Structure 1
């Protein structure tokens, strides 16, 4: 296979993922007319139309679906062959597209991308942060960094940090309103609600044995931003669910106390997701290994089992 054919395969795979000629042109640093001409030359060589074009997007014809299937297979085999021969003695290189959540991506992952770029200068990293999970295949991302369970069964995942969730509140809130003695007491307390994606509003889940139970809570404050609701809890406005990553330093300093610490909540482990392990590039593997190394011990775990202050709930 000559280099022109290999380049055409990569171009068409990207076009199929983005469903946009202008998007493929931007990703490859081409002008839109150059991308259109390149597609035309491929179709002319094959004697078949590969895509249906509109002003906004493209869709694959049956011939285009066949071309994409073989292009993915052949391109993947070429990558595997090249990395098997030269991967052990060359540094990772090429384009790596990474997605992460908005706040966590900005404050935590972006500095790590900076470190990674210094270690692997031949890797070009395109880093995007979004408030909602993205479709890795549709968005042509190599990997995404997210808290929580696998969002799509088509993806593979690697856990890079264990991260338990806890109920918590400030000492001044507990001194004023009392400490819940059992999970049902939360229904009578002021709860701060973190609205996330499509989760049911004000419904908190917890484990009872092997089953997941749900409890309806209420409060006067809610937000879709984790830093905001944490600040409200520190200010004494109510009880909040937050992860160990967010809580550890405040629990250790005494600014927050665990509430019902023996209650087990669904965890918020940190994962890196990727479309397939079979054709994973050396640069993607290097980035994932780098993250695992950096998150090996990111905080001192929250200590569970010690009873902390507060009086019994008087019932609100």
Structure 2
């Protein structure tokens, strides 16, 4: 048994989620994949995977082995790329996890441009607004929005993310335009369920109060739906400008209370800390730098012309 081949097979089983999918990915028979993993466990004298008829899961030893195996394989790949000159032409599959709305609106052009520069890299993009585990779920890069807590991952700052209040001109004409945070108690609020509110901000404090004390809440886990509802006159939305910016530029929405704008968040690229970072990951991280502009293009709307707050 080749130890490196067995290690790659084990990592593929975990990444693909099953022996059959790993076999298809590696272009091996399922029997050979199972044999490699079993021989690896015998060599290590420890069980790495729990197997059932429906799924496989990592044991405690398997979790530890997976982290080391990925680092070793990444180092081997990087060494081979450097020795063979492949750092000029990186290749392989780049697995990316990213937020749903941001990706739909802004990520496709970047990925298309990236593949024009690096045609040998295959892209596997998974959209999800939940927080994913970079290592355990087998991603090379995770794009995440928010304030990052301490982590063993490397975080690359990509772009600022502004969150603003906005409503349609028709809604404001009918219900009035708030001039201070406490005026929000008179208005219908369209709530994004994943938004973490900071009560130190006056706008957040009043919106949280409405959420608790009043009925008629419109809530969704998708910001695009809430922006469309705001355009239709359903109420006031608190949304990132990468979603609402286009509607503001078209005059469909009016930004409000900009003097009380919540603290700017960030878009980050997260990846596992490695001494020898795979070329495909390094190229993608470098490609992100400055791509969206400074400030990002979705913030290119005239505050003074559109704002009534």
Bucket of the pairwise TM-score, normalised by the shorter protein: 0.7 to 0.9
Q: Mark the CA change 1:258 to 1:70 in structure 2 (over 3 Å): closer, same or farther.
A: closer
CA distance in 2, matches of 1:69, 1:135: 12
2:261 paired residue number:
264
Q: Is structure 2 residue 277 aligned with structure 1 residue 280? A: yes
Give 1:185 deviation, angstroms.
1.9
1:258-285 Cα distance to aligned partner (Å, 9 max, x none): 2111113143422211122534211011
Question: Aligned runs of 1:80-119 on 2, under 5 Å?
Answer: 80-86=78-84, 90-119=88-117
Match of 2:224 among 219, 223, 227: 227
Give 1:96 deviation, angstroms.
1.2
Q: Is the contact between residue 93 and residue 283 of structure 1 (CA under 8 Å) also seen in structure 2?
A: yes
Q: Is the contact between residue 157 and residue 269 of structure 2 (CA under 8 Å) also seen in structure 1?
A: yes
Q: Is the contact between residue 41 and residue 48 of structure 2 (CA under 8 Å) also seen in structure 1?
A: no
1:301 paired residue number:
300
Q: Is structure 2 residue 244 aligned with structure 1 residue 251? A: no
Q: Is the contact between residue 243 and residue 268 of structure 1 (CA under 8 Å) also seen in structure 2?
A: no
* Number of equivalences: 299
Give 1:148 deviation, angstroms.
1.7
- Point out where structure 2 has 5 or more consecutive residues left out of the alignment: none
Give 1:240 deviation, angstroms.
0.9
Q: TM-score, normalised by structure 1?
A: 0.79
Give 1:37 deviation, angstroms.
1.5
Give 1:151 deviation, angstroms.
6.4
2:286 paired residue number:
289
1:217 paired residue number:
210
Give 1:248 deviation, angstroms.
2.7
Please tell me the root mean square deviation across aligned C-alpha atoms, in Å: 3.3
Give 1:134 deviation, angstroms.
1.8
Match of 1:35 among 33, 36, 54: 33
Q: Mark the CA change 1:48 to 1:68 in structure 2 (over 3 Å): closer, same or farther.
A: same
Which is richer in helix? Answer: 2
- Which secondary structure state, in structure 2, belongs to the residue aligned with residue 255 of structure 1? coil
Q: TM-score, normalised by structure 2?
A: 0.80
Q: Is the contact between residue 156 and residue 275 of structure 1 (CA under 8 Å) also seen in structure 2?
A: yes
CA distance in 2, matches of 1:102, 1:141: 16
CA distance in 2, matches of 1:238, 1:191: 6
CA distance in 1, matches of 2:22, 2:30: 9
CA distance in 1, matches of 2:226, 2:175: 19
Q: Mark the CA change 1:129 to 1:29 in structure 2 (over 3 Å): closer, same or farther.
A: farther
Q: Is the contact between residue 244 and residue 301 of structure 1 (CA under 8 Å) also seen in structure 2?
A: no
- Point out where structure 1 has 5 or more consecutive residues left out of the alignment: 311-316
Match of 1:194 among 177, 192, 195: 192
1:239 paired residue number:
236
Runs (4 or more) in structure 1 with deviation over 6 Å come to none
CA distance in 1, matches of 2:65, 2:221: 43
